[in-house]
Amino acid sequence: MRPVIGVISDVKQVGGHTVHGVTEKYIYAVARGAQAMPVLVPGTISAVDDDMTPERVVIEEILDLCDGIFLPGSPSNVGPQHYGDRPHDPPLPADPHRDDISLPLIRAALERGVPLFGVCRGFQEMNVAMGGTLFQKLYEQPGRFDHREDSSLDIEGQYAPVHEVALEPGGLLESLAGAPRWTVNSLHGQGIARLAPGLAIEARADDGTVEAFRVPDTPGFNLAIQWHPEWRFWQDRLSSAVFTAFGAAARLRAEGRRAGARELAAV
């Protein structure tokens, strides 16, 4: 059996309806790249009328179900109130229902050693969940590049590799890449302002922007990447290696859980 990886959903309005969903490229990367069974995890469920109390998905139930957690990218941003900042005027795209589930889920997954992988928004969520802060408009910071995609290009052009990152010597990404630098795509308007305590940098852009990190003093696999390794992961050696490592960690957890269940059944 393939390991089960929970994929956190966006919550948005489509045609007057509230929709919980994930872009297919992330699901495909988990299914094929990590060789796992992706299961979509909804955000918090909002009330549909005044007489209903909003329900909260139970964190422990999610972690009991899943062998790994994947935090995909999104057009939305982590609410700035979660890191002590004020919203811009006009406010940037947000998804409070996703914030409500992803931030406590990150902390619980790290405590329990559940394999955890965050991409783009997921990268930013992991930093905020652990006590870090973000630049809401990275491109307005002195000395920083504009890391946003070129909207005049087609989708393939937007996701094409555009700049290099320096991989931390002796880090996980350097070991997977077998090289000190790698060329990545770049489609983010926000970025890390203050790295959370206890995080270890795995990659930086040449303007100093943190592009990847891990939480080393926790059990199990975890990794956060600011670029988009899910995009045609099979064409990029490092992207493929990252999803393979994530899937292997989830598979190891799944095997341990099944072995424990067999032992209990034999008692």
Catalytic residue selected from 97, 120, 188, 211: 120
- Fold of the CATH domain 4-266: Rossmann fold (3.40.50)
Question: Active site includes 120?
Answer: yes
Q: Active site includes 230?
A: yes
Q: What is the pLDDT of residue 21?
A: 96
Kindly report the number of other CB atoms within 10 A of residue 163's CB atom.
Answer: 16
Q: How many Å separate Cα 85 from the centre of its chain?
A: 21
pLDDT in tens, 88-122: 989 999 999 999 999 999 999 999 999 999 999 99
Cis peptide before 197 (omega within 30 of 0): no
User: Is 105:73 a contact under the CB 8 Å cutoff?
Assistant: no
Q: Which of 125, 174, 211, 230 is catalytic?
A: 230
Q: Is the pLDDT of residue 156 over 80?
A: yes
How many Cβ atoms from other residues are within 10 Å of residue 96's Cβ?
15
pLDDT of residue 46: 59
- Tell the residue number behind the tokens 């926000």, with chain if given: 190
Interval 31-56 mean pLDDT: 76
The closest of 150, 97, 240 to 105, measured between CA atoms, is: 97
Note if the pTM is more than 0.85: yes
Catalytic residue among 97, 147, 188, 228: 228
Phi-psi region of 160 (alpha: psi -120 to 50; beta: other; left: phi over 0): beta
Establish whether 263 is a catalytic residue: no
Q: Where are the alpha helices (DSSP H) in the chain?
A: 24-28, 59-65, 96-112, 121-129, 155-158, 172-177, 237-266
pLDDT band at 52 (very low <50, low <70, confident <90, very high): very low
Q: What residue ranges do the domains of the chain occupy?
A: 4-266
